């Protein structure tokens, strides 16, 4: 009888693990058809969870290697995580106001002495440069993370930055939002056409066997982007699930690990970011939970609340402005990677702390990665 009861509980446990996507050493990708490279990358992230943090760096398409070189000059290290942005083509008389996100057609921020001029390459050529560089960096053992500052769908990939940075008083109405997220509407169709262009880029990476930490619609709990400030079941959650479904089931993009990347919650008047849970689409649609931390806002709650929401899933720092202090870094050990946002790495605060953080015993740089047979593991 004891043996029967034991067997019964084992079976129940296995069933529950299957239902939640769990396995012995963590979770499987939410996309059950994920390519082996994506499965292995997620396994690697779980293998270092709470023990180490991968170093990272964001690079803009218009100067694709610049900030990796800055990190090397400051620390003597090459980051493991390589990030970039599919971005947009900036229009209008105020183009330079949006240079901080690296529009595809403008010179990169942080280049002293270079004006905010237009580049000779087209947005299509710039995105191809991102793809080609991502493939090359992956072959070196780097881990690729990509995102997308996208225009409101009716403008495709070409818009004034004010079309993206709407702020609270100019966000889409609930009627517009419902049309956007309802399959079969005119606006939903336009949005899918816009997404098709990005899907083609991601497919090229899939064909090359490159897994991608994909973090679309970041900082959705803030009040600044058009996709922000829509909490609840009929809000951001519907947008995320619609993209997940379109990329996964229609485009068959199986190289993506889905990184849900909120802003660290804050109560700054006019610059608020709501609670994580109000915007979380559910564990069945998320592989990694991330936070963006700016203004040196290193509250312990930003780390701990994300851990609680993820219930064991990987957490990371999708973007940071200033790096954490060594004390904070050691007090928040579950971040699986961090990634400074482009030119922020050149801030005087980061110049002071970068060497300590990138060379910290808790940090993993590229020189510690063994990528033999295109499998991520730590060097012995």
Is 176 part of the annotated catalytic residue set? no
Question: Distance between CA 162 and CA 215 in Å, rounded?
Answer: 21
- Please state the φ and ψ torsions of residue 225, each to the nearest 5 degrees: -90, 160
- Please state the φ and ψ torsions of residue 82, each to the nearest 5 degrees: -110, 120
Is 308 part of the annotated catalytic residue set? no
Alpha-carbon distance values, 173 to 33, 179, 184, 230 (Å): 36, 10, 19, 10
User: How is residue 63 written in tokens?
Assistant: 């100067």
Residue-by-residue DSSP string for 272-302: -B--GGGG---GGG-SEEEEEE-TT---HHH
DSSP-assigned letter for residue 22: E
User: How is residue 208 written in tokens?
Assistant: 């090359």
Catalytic residue among 319, 327, 330, 349: 319
Catalytic residue among 118, 219, 284, 330: 219
User: How is residue 226 written in tokens?
Assistant: 């058009």
Chain-centre distance for alpha carbon 30: 16
Q: How many residues does the chain have?
A: 380
Q: Which residues are known catalytic residues?
A: 219, 319
């Amino acid at each position: 009888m004891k043996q029967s009861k034991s067997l019964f509980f084992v079976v129940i446990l296995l069933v529950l693990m299957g239902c939640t996507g769990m396995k012995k050493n963590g979770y499987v990708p939410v996309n059950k058809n994920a390519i082996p490279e994506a499965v292995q990358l997620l396994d690697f992230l779980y293998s270092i969870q709470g023990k180490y943090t991968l170093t990272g760096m964001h690079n803009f398409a218009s100067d694709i290697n610049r900030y990796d070189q800055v990190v090397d000059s400051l620390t003597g290290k090459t980051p493991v995580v390589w990030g970039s942005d599919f971005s947009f083509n900036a229009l209008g008389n105020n183009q330079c106001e949006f240079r901080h996100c690296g529009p595809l057609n403008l010179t990169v921020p942080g280049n002293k002495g270079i004006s905010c001029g237009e580049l000779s390459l087209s947005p299509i050529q710039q995105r191809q440069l991102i793809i080609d560089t991502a493939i090359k960096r992956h072959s070196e053992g780097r881990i690729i993370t990509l995102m997308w500052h996208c225009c409101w769908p009716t403008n495709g990939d070409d818009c004034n930055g004010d079309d993206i940075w709407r702020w609270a008083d100019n966000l889409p109405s609930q009627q517009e939002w419902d049309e956007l997220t309802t399959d079969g509407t005119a606006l939903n169709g336009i949005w899918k056409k816009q997404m098709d262009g990005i899907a083609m880029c991601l497919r090229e990476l899939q064909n090359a066997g490159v897994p991608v930490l994909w973090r679309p619609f970041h900082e959705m709990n803030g009040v600044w982007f058009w996709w922000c400030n829509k909490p609840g079941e009929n809000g951001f959650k519907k947008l995320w699930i619609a993209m997940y479904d379109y990329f996964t089931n229609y485009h068959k993009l199986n190289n993506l690990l889905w990184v849900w990347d909120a802003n660290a919650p804050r109560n700054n008047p006019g610059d608020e970011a709501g609670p994580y849970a109000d915007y979380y689409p559910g564990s069945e649609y998320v592989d990694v939970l991330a936070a963006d931390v700016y203004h040196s806002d290193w509250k312990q709650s930003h780390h701990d609340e994300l851990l609680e929401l993820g219930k064991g899933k990987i957490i990371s720092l999708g973007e940071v402005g200033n790096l954490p202090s060594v004390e904070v870094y050691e007090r928040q050990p579950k971040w699986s990677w961090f990634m400074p946002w482009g030119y922020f790495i050149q801030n005087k605060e980061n110049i002071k702390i970068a060497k300590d953080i990138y060379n910290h015993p808790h940090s993993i740089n590229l020189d510690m990665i063994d990528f033999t047979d295109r499998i991520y593991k730590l060097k012995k």
